[in-house]
Amino acid sequence: MLHENILLIRDENNLGKVYNELKLSFDKVEVTVKDIITERVYQEVSAYNERAKGYENALVQPKDAEIKLNEPSKKGRRPVNAEKQVEVALAAFDNNGFFMLVDDQQAENLDDIVTIKPETSVSFIKLTPLVGG
């Protein structure tokens, strides 16, 4: 039986005010920063594609053109491309578009290891709005 390891993710502004929270589940105790970002984006895109709303607090915002393409129409709405959004988010991390604090320590690299414990805290601090592809 797999044990789920849950991370509580908080989005904060640069003053430390929390404006969004979500939980991510992993099947292992040690994950990388890249794993956390990737899982977060996949979860957000999946939720958006299912509901067509609720993307306002997402790590990566689709470009205006993609939003326009995804508006409901007679033919139905096209889903947001999760892989493309993951690429944008990972590039943004590498280019300081946002940073992550793991237990109040800044994550420096996508390959940094995070050991999930009940008290582990992960915060995303966005410096600029991230616009995806």
* Confidence label for 1 from pLDDT (cuts 50, 70 and 90): very low
Specify whether the CB–CB gap between 46 and 38 falls below 8 A: no
Residues near 59 by beta carbon (within 8 Å), at least 6 away in sequence? 11, 37, 40, 41, 44, 89, 98, 124, 126, 130
Q: What's the pLDDT at 52?
A: 60
Percent of the chain with pLDDT over 70: 74
Q: pLDDT tens digits for 3-40?
A: 679 999 999 988 888 999 999 999 999 999 999 999 99
Distance (Å, rounded) from C-alpha 94 to C-alpha 78? 29
pTM (predicted TM-score): 0.77
Write out the two tokens for 34.
Answer: 């890249």
Domain ranges of the chain: 5-126
Q: pLDDT tens digits for 47-104?
A: 888 876 555 566 766 666 555 555 554 455 678 899 999 999 999 999 998 999 999 9
Report the amino acid identity of residue 23: K
Say yes or no to pLDDT of 113 above 90.
yes
Distance (Å, rounded) from C-alpha 30 to C-alpha 102? 13
